[in-house]
Structure 1
Amino acid sequence: MALKLTVIGTGYLGATHAAAMAELGFEVLGLDVVPEKIEMLGQGRVPMYEPGLEELLRKHVAGIEGSSGRLRFTTSFEEVGAFGDVHFVCVNTPQKHGEYACDMSYVESAFGSLAPHLRDGALVVGKSTVPVGSAARLAAVLPENVELAWNPEFLREGFAVDDTLHPDRIVVGVESERAEKLLREVYAGPVGEGSPFVVTDFPTAELVKTAANSFLATKISFINAMAEVCEAADGDVVKLAEAIGHDDRIGKKFLRAGIGFGGGCLPKDIRAFMARAGELGADQALTFLREVDSVNMRRRGHMVELAREAVGGETFLGKRVAVLGATFKPDSDDVRDSPALNVAGQIHLQGGQVTVYDPKGMDNARRLFPTLGYAPSAVEAVRGADVVLHLTEWREFRDLDPAELAEAAATRIILDGRNALDPVTWREAGWTYRAMGRPRA
């Protein structure tokens, strides 16, 4: 008899996981405590922008014409408990207010609400990013004949559907052969295509996600630190990154210098990792992450200084600043801890007239920064600007016609905060082009 799956929490991770499991052929029941979200998902709509996700939902949500009907949504833990054989917990673990540690209240609430309704033999699978040691503690919340496994997610926003259906690795922390067997059955499709299936204990599975994110954050901050040195020495960080990236031990990915990383994962995950290491008495092992975080935050301030220099060097008062990009990365509408919006906000607070344009993140940006100006297109954002800041590397911005933008701008100065534009093309169109870690001309 085929396994029935449930997904607890239908945010970015949960909605993607639920739709992908339906695509793999399972009957899936998704749960959320927010009725409005459940209503939206039940109509085949998603509350966030993720390429391909809405199409995948509509392919499987029950009640939509032509769908497989394998995917439904509910607000009832009782219904979920009666339905499922394997329950995936996909709720958020944000950073605690005023602390580095992560907030486990959503995970604890999900486990507490689910536990009384679980059938004997059920398997609960944690996918949320949690501090090491959490799984062992949460296992004690579950009934005696219910097992726990930990299966961290490695989704990249903008590629989440593909990352779930065709993962580069599947990690499962288990305490029994039965739990491993059930998860091999769940992931039989991807494993059959060649995705590695790594079996570990609970602590290792919990550490994998935070260790991976810490490594990526370190690599980004390393090249940004090199950009600082390049600026001091009149070197070119783009050529430096190209040269060291040819070394297979280093690799080319995540070596683009700019205004740094943001989003809902990397910043809070490395901070929570440091906090947990301190609780375990291993704080010295991760002290380097403080500098990784510091380098990252420093890049935002440096872009503000470059912008101030570009408009005269003393004040932003009376100056018009165009900001291209609001999301923390392209192919997403996520503005959580967005470096682009952080820079825009700082300039606005210092008196600049800031106008922002982003292909997908405008609504979320307005909610977070309602006092900024917003434009319906890149050209309109640039109109009358004394300086243009390119802060999110959307393809739309890379494909812009510098000559067309030049006609709209008051002053032809562009600061490339992502090192993603072609300096030659922009300079030939009459722009003064400046990028972080690169020579002025």
Structure 2
Amino acid sequence: MKISTIGCGYLGAVHAACMAELGHEVVGLDVDERKVELLARGEAPFHEAGLPELLRRNVDAGRLTFTTDPSAIADCDIHFIGVGTPQMQGRYAADMSQVDAAVQTILDNTDPNREEPALIAGKSTVPVGTAEAIAGKVAESGKNLLVLWNPEFLREGFAVKDTLEPDRIVYGLSEDVAEGEKAREMLDECYREILDRGTPRLLANYPTAELVKVAANSFLATKISFINAMAELCDATGADVTKLAEAIGHDDRIGKKFLRAGIGFGGGCLPKDIRAFMARAGELGVDQALTFLREVDAINTRRRVGAVDLVTDLVGPRLVGHRVAVLGAAFKPDSDDLRDSPALDIALTLWSRGADVVIHDPQAGGKLKEQRPDLEVVDTIEEALSGAEVTMLLTEWKQFRELDPAAVKSIVKTPVIVDGRNVLDPRAWSEAGWDYHGIGRGVSIW
């Protein structure tokens, strides 16, 4: 099939490359000329495992192209919308301007005399009601287009695998049976190789498909904030939140995933998605249904404040002049994404209060240097640790998790470690002479 992806960020670029890998002819459309130039050369504009190889292979094979020219999508069979829906300035609601622009681009470049329908397949995370509104706009245009909502479930760092080997695929279909069936057939053809491997496919109406992604993200955010709330209780009582999480995680009704306490969640999805979900519930008059998400959000924010307060307690009431090594800036390992990163937020707060903050991140460091030349961002762990009075592990990169506490003790000025992700062995670091501080965990013989 001939396919377009509108938007070539984390979602769109990965989806375009993966669709080409399935054998389709794919054109990626974006307004960012620099990003398009990189992608057209087979180079990834962001760090994502496996993506550079996928891009080069399919660009070289001629199956994958990128452009800023919207006329290039005119004869495509399927248009995937993969643009961003960021949080609006000063509001919880999602900014839908990029989705609106993508739909208009498709309408403007669809042949009015097209005999066979083309399919608009939305992948962006959107407020419930969006697909129905787009379908109405398409009907008014008279263009031969169908609308389907196909939410993405990508994890940064695993996006290629999650696209080619998803744990489920969801189709949000029109209530018009004929239109819905035709849209299903078209997307089935696109995903044939994935479906033939037995991947579950769920058929639903538009609003159900739109709610799936935000409901999933809200549940995961709730689980993270729950264990972080338990960490606050553990700090107050001397309990160990890691042992607590292990114990309750053995209950298969709860499960172990997303039960690791720390400095909280961030990135370009969970924070803005739960806020947009609350905003949309308010618009629909059912805001009380999601009131609990306000506390989920508040707990998450409180973890960042708590990390800053801990450093203040360790060095004294004035942070000015105290050297703090920050290991990690990206919101998660295996990514260079700095959007709403708890690690970066904590580092910036300490810096704004006068601390001498030195940051190292193996992938996001270069990007951070460009964005914030006023910060001290270094290229090695040793540079970051040199002369540090407090060391903070805030993004759980493998090289940070595997640090030898005895070997790095001589580099710092004061061996004080704040394990913001609870990934270090407190006993090993304490026995090596470090003053260890985790989140909701002490050093116990058990």
Query: Do they fold alike, i.e. is TM over 0.5?
Result: yes
Q: Which residue of structure 1 aligns with residue 177 of structure 2?
A: none
Q: Which residue of structure 2 aligns with residue 135 of structure 1?
A: 131
Q: Deviations over 1:378-397 (max 9, x none)?
A: 11101000010000001010
Give the SS at the match of 2:71. helix
Give the SS at the match of 1:255. coil
Structure 2: give runs of 5+ residues left out of the alignment.
Answer: 175-179
| Aligned-pair Cα RMSD in Å | 1.1
C-alpha separation between the residues in 2 aligned to 1:73 and 1:97? 30
AA aligned to 2:259 is L
Q: 1:341 aligns with which of 321, 336, 344?
A: 344
Question: How do 1:398-417 and structure 2 match up within 5 A?
Answer: 398-417=401-420
C-alpha separation between the residues in 2 aligned to 1:440 and 1:96? 43
Q: Which residue of structure 2 aligns with residue 163 of structure 1?
A: 162
Q: 1:282 aligns with which of 283, 286, 290?
A: 286
Q: Is the Cα–Cα contact under 8 Å of residues 426 and 443 in structure 2 kept in the other structure?
A: no
Q: Is the Cα–Cα contact under 8 Å of residues 48 and 156 in structure 2 kept in the other structure?
A: yes
Question: How do 1:72-151 and structure 2 match up within 5 A?
Answer: 72-82=65-75, 84-119=76-111, 120=114, 121-142=117-138, 143-144=141-142, 145-151=144-150
Give the SS at the match of 1:72. strand
Q: Which residue of structure 2 aligns with residue 25 of structure 1?
A: 23
C-alpha displacement of 1:368: 4.0
Q: Which moved more, 1:216-225 or 1:366-375?
A: 366-375
Q: Which residue of structure 2 aligns with residue 302 of structure 1?
A: 306
C-alpha separation between the residues in 2 aligned to 1:338 and 1:369? 14
C-alpha separation between the residues in 2 aligned to 1:10 and 1:158? 16
C-alpha separation between the residues in 2 aligned to 1:417 and 1:111? 42
Q: Is the Cα–Cα contact under 8 Å of residues 345 and 369 in structure 1 kept in the other structure?
A: no
Q: Which residue of structure 2 aligns with residue 199 of structure 1?
A: 203
AA aligned to 1:71 is L
Q: 2:380 aligns with which of 364, 377, 388?
A: 377
C-alpha separation between the residues in 1 aligned to 2:63 and 2:71? 19
Q: Cα distance 1:368–1:98, how it changes in 2: closer, same or farther (>3 A)?
A: farther
C-alpha separation between the residues in 1 aligned to 2:429 and 2:373? 31
Q: Which residue of structure 2 aligns with residue 240 of structure 1?
A: 244
C-alpha displacement of 1:369: 3.6
C-alpha separation between the residues in 1 aligned to 2:370 and 2:33? 21
Give the SS at the match of 2:137. coil
Q: Which residue of structure 2 aligns with residue 225 of structure 1?
A: 229
Q: 1:190 aligns with which of 190, 194, 197?
A: 194
Q: Is the Cα–Cα contact under 8 Å of residues 213 and 269 in structure 1 kept in the other structure?
A: yes
Q: Is the Cα–Cα contact under 8 Å of residues 93 and 107 in structure 1 kept in the other structure?
A: yes
AA aligned to 1:36 is R
AA aligned to 1:180 is R
Question: Structure 1-normalised TM-score?
Answer: 0.96
Q: Which residue of structure 2 aligns with residue 42 of structure 1?
A: 40
C-alpha displacement of 1:281: 0.2
Q: Percent of aligned positions with the same letter in both sequences?
A: 57
Q: Which residue of structure 2 aligns with residue 269 of structure 1?
A: 273
**Would you identify which runs of 4 or more consecutive aligned residues in structure 1 move more than 4 Å?**
none
AA aligned to 1:113 is T
Question: Structure 2-normalised TM-score?
Answer: 0.95
Aligned residues: 432
Q: Is the Cα–Cα contact under 8 Å of residues 360 and 384 in structure 2 kept in the other structure?
A: yes
Q: Is the Cα–Cα contact under 8 Å of residues 327 and 358 in structure 1 kept in the other structure?
A: yes
Q: Is the Cα–Cα contact under 8 Å of residues 322 and 356 in structure 1 kept in the other structure?
A: yes
C-alpha separation between the residues in 1 aligned to 2:33 and 2:388? 43
Give the SS at the match of 1:141. helix
Q: Is the Cα–Cα contact under 8 Å of residues 341 and 365 in structure 1 kept in the other structure?
A: no
1:174 aligns with 2:173: yes
AA aligned to 2:63 is R
C-alpha displacement of 1:440: 5.0
Give the SS at the match of 2:275. helix
